[in-house]
Chain A
Amino acid sequence: MSCHGAALQEKPSNDKMKILLMGNPNVGKSVVFSKLTGVHVDSSNYAGTTVDYTVGDINFGSKQGVLIDVPGTYSLEATNEAEKVAVSLLEEGADAVICVLDATHLERNLGLAFELKEYPIPVVYCLNLMDVAERHGIKIDAEKLSEELGSPVIPTIAIKNKGLRELMEMVVKLSKEEKDPEPRLDEQERWERIQEIVSRVQTKIDKKELTFIEKLEDWTVQPWPGIPIALLVLIASLGVVVGGGKALRAVVLLPLVKQVIVPFLTKIVSLIVPAGILRNVLVGEFGILVIGIEWPFALILPYVFLFYVVFSFLEDSGYLPRIGVLADGVLRRIGIQGGNIIPMMLGYGCAVPAILGTRAASTYKERIMVASLVSFAIPCASQSGAFFALLGDRSIFALIFVYLLSILAILAVGIVLNKIVPGRSQPLLLEVPNLLLPDKDAYKKKLKLRMKHFMMDAEGAMFFGIIIAAIIAETGVLNEFSKLLGPFVEGWLGLPREASLSLLLGIIRRELAVLPLLEMNLNTLQLTVGAIVALFYLPCLSVFGVLTKEFSLKTALFIGAITIVSAFFFGGLFNQIGSLIIGVIG
């Protein structure tokens, strides 16, 4: 993620517009954003805050400019970080503001609409979700509303591209005009004025019959059948990621890598580089060009990609906050509110965005707790990929056992942290968004951005780890390490000496603690021990980096030390007990 922005700091030139896109949360703002912007989209952090926002380029006729997707807010009173950022962006100035209004809930949306009138920037109101409003029996007279607000109101159905051309025409027209700020109304006055306007422009017919979506919306916030539905969704998601990943790997990626790419590279290197250490480092059994291509692209990438495919879909459909509502009762027991389940689920993809995602939590206690839980006990998609590769074919029970252990560890660590971390968590108070089919463009843009950040954050570190692995393994340095760590690895963990390599590499990336074991012909007990060690290990160097950045070096070192010690402790404990049981039975 780039810093608060090069794209923004530069004063827009005379014909380059700067447009702010604002609105309440959950009004379809990001869909409007993705429809209006081109291919150059990136997310940035607003300097000095924990708030991210997205910037994209716009081209409309001969006009060019940038569109800034301001974080969704209910008001501009700067009572939280998102509102502070929204106010700062308005104060920096812009050529126009597009304010997205939710036609299904006009009254609440008009609060922000009124506050925007106090700024000297022309506003165009985008009355979105007109189709949903109609389904709900709501009719709004856009012309009348425009008269009341003193600014143009354009009705839109962003997801179907309806009204967006008119919206942009109006934005271009207004961006040339000056606008005088209007005096501030006090709260009571504003509220009365809003109710008056709504009664004039909106007509509503009560309808008794619920559509299927409305029924589903209702079911998914009830304990019954909401909790079984949530479990089904999670199982189906896991099925897509695991099954799809496995198929993709076996049918396409592994044959491609093992039979085409690697032999090709080996052949070329053999022609150029004479036999010896250098050739081994490049194309030996652990060679950079062999493992460096096979592990990231054939073993890890398919799982990470499919994880984001599924997660982004659930996120854009408005389903995730519902899981937060259902989980709140249980998560409160470990001291955090239900909404935190979303960064935790994201942790099953990658710990880095999950830890960044804790910024949405409003108290320090929640942030540090979720970040620790993610680092400690939630396997990321790369690591899950490695687990499936390691245990999937050998013992499905060992695989299930490792995941049950992960859930137990979350609860246990949560209970302990709740006792030792001071402070309290912010109580849950949120609007549950409507369920909808995600918009294709918004979804594709999000997926692209996520994969880009994964490539930059994770693949780089992994390749670096593999280079070190290749050098250590192929130059004989590994033997020295093995001698040093050998007694511990063999005696306590019951793994062969060469597994020391896994433990060293695991510090760089967690799945690397698992992958070398694939080549060692281990029994099921040994594989499970390896998986347990990897489960609790610090995820990777990137996570160490992000913990340092978001909290402090001390916190990162503390989490790092605790995770490594418990990884060896529990892995070894499992080996000792397992060996004992096998000894008794055998």
Chain B
Amino acid sequence: MPLAHGEKLSTYRIEKLPNSHLLKVLGFRKGTQFTIQSKQPFKGPIVVKVGNRSIAIDYDIANEILVEEVTHN
């Protein structure tokens, strides 16, 4: 499932992600777990929480990140 379709407060694990240097250095790799902190209207960014840090991800990029649900809110 694309991350863009995820739900607020649910936890996901990354299965597949685009090859982006910035995603990698921000801590996103295959297997990284995170919780969706907020979603914005008008296809705004998805904010996810990895560890203690919040990262905002553009909607189109979030569409290319495939995730598996770990826990549902």
Judge if B54 is at the interface, Cβ distance under 8 Å: yes
Q: Which residues of B contact A111 (CB under 8 A)?
A: 25
Q: Which residues of B contact A431 (CB under 8 A)?
A: 26, 53-56
A120-155: CB near B (< 8 Å → 1, else 0) gives 000000000000000010100000000000000000
**Could you list some 9 contacts between A and B, CB below 8 A?**
A79-B21, A107-B51, A221-B56, A326-B40, A329-B41, A329-B44, A330-B42, A338-B56, A431-B56
A385 CA / B14 CA spacing, docked (Å) = 51
A330 CA / B44 CA spacing, docked (Å) = 8
A301 CA / B26 CA spacing, docked (Å) = 41
Nearest CB of A to B46, in Å:
10
Q: Which residues of A contact B42 (CB under 8 A)?
A: 329-330, 332-333
Judge if B70 is at the interface, Cβ distance under 8 Å: no
Nearest CB of B to A105, in Å:
6
Judge if A328 is at the interface, Cβ distance under 8 Å: yes
A77 CA / B22 CA spacing, docked (Å) = 11
Whether the pair B45, A191 counts as a contact (CB closer than 8 A) is no
Chain A residues with CB under 8 Å of chain B are 74-75, 77, 79, 104-105, 107-108, 111, 136, 138, 191, 217-218, 221-223, 226, 321, 324-326, 328-330, 332-333, 337-338, 427-432
Nearest CB of B to A75, in Å:
5
In the complex, the chain A residue whose C-beta lies closest to that of B25 is: A74
A79 CA / B51 CA spacing, docked (Å) = 25
Whether the pair B44, A75 counts as a contact (CB closer than 8 A) is no
Whether the pair A107, B27 counts as a contact (CB closer than 8 A) is yes
A111 CA / B60 CA spacing, docked (Å) = 27
Nearest CB of B to A342, in Å:
13
Candidate in B29, B41, B54 with the most chain A CB atoms within 10 angstroms? B54
Q: Which residues of B contact A338 (CB under 8 A)?
A: 44-45, 56
Q: Which residues of B contact A75 (CB under 8 A)?
A: 21, 25
Chain B residues with CB under 8 Å of chain A are 20-23, 25-27, 29, 37-38, 40-45, 47, 51-58, 60-61
A223 CA / B57 CA spacing, docked (Å) = 15
Q: Which residues of A contact B52 (CB under 8 A)?
A: 104-105, 136, 138
A485 CA / B35 CA spacing, docked (Å) = 64
Known contacts A222-B38, A427-B60: does B27 contact A332 (CB below 8 Å)? Answer: no
Known contacts A328-B40, A329-B43, A431-B53: does B27 contact A77 (CB below 8 Å)? Answer: no
Whether the pair A427, B53 counts as a contact (CB closer than 8 A) is no
Whether the pair A221, B55 counts as a contact (CB closer than 8 A) is no
Q: Which residues of A contact B57 (CB under 8 A)?
A: 428-429
Q: Which residues of B contact A329 (CB under 8 A)?
A: 40-45
Q: Out of A136, A218, A326, which one reaches B44, CB within 8 Å?
A: A326
Nearest CB of B to A239, in Å:
27
Whether the pair A429, B61 counts as a contact (CB closer than 8 A) is yes
A200 CA / B56 CA spacing, docked (Å) = 30
Whether the pair B26, A429 counts as a contact (CB closer than 8 A) is yes
A430 CA / B45 CA spacing, docked (Å) = 10
A79 CA / B25 CA spacing, docked (Å) = 11
A223 CA / B43 CA spacing, docked (Å) = 12
Known contacts A223-B40, A429-B57: does B25 contact A325 (CB below 8 Å)? Answer: no
Whether the pair B29, A191 counts as a contact (CB closer than 8 A) is yes
Known contacts A104-B52, A105-B52, A337-B58: does B40 contact A429 (CB below 8 Å)? Answer: no
Q: Which residues of A contact B58 (CB under 8 A)?
A: 328, 337, 427-429
Nearest CB of A to B1, in Å:
20
Whether the pair A325, B21 counts as a contact (CB closer than 8 A) is no
A445 CA / B43 CA spacing, docked (Å) = 39
A136 CA / B51 CA spacing, docked (Å) = 10
Whether the pair A217, B54 counts as a contact (CB closer than 8 A) is yes
Known contacts A325-B47, A326-B44: does B56 contact A429 (CB below 8 Å)? Answer: yes
Q: Which residues of B contact A430 (CB under 8 A)?
A: 55-56
Known contacts A104-B52, A217-B54: does B22 contact A432 (CB below 8 Å)? Answer: no
Nearest CB of B to A585, in Å:
40
Nearest CB of A to B63, in Å:
10
Q: Out of B20, B26, B45, B54, which one reaches A328, CB within 8 Å?
A: B45
A338 CA / B52 CA spacing, docked (Å) = 23
Nearest CB of B to A115, in Å:
11
Q: Which residues of A contact B54 (CB under 8 A)?
A: 217, 221, 431-432
For the complex of A and B, the 5 pairs showing the least CB-CB separation, nearest first, are A329-B44, A329-B42, A427-B58, A74-B25, A432-B54
Q: Which residues of A contact B56 (CB under 8 A)?
A: 221, 321, 324-325, 328, 338, 428-432
Q: Which residues of B contact A432 (CB under 8 A)?
A: 47, 53-56
A277 CA / B26 CA spacing, docked (Å) = 67
A278 CA / B52 CA spacing, docked (Å) = 68
A481 CA / B52 CA spacing, docked (Å) = 64
Candidate in A136, A191, A221 with the most chain B CB atoms within 10 angstroms? A221
Q: Which residues of B contact A222 (CB under 8 A)?
A: 37-38
Q: Which residues of B contact A325 (CB under 8 A)?
A: 40, 44-45, 47, 56
A79 CA / B41 CA spacing, docked (Å) = 31
Known contacts A191-B29, A325-B47: does B55 contact A223 (CB below 8 Å)? Answer: no
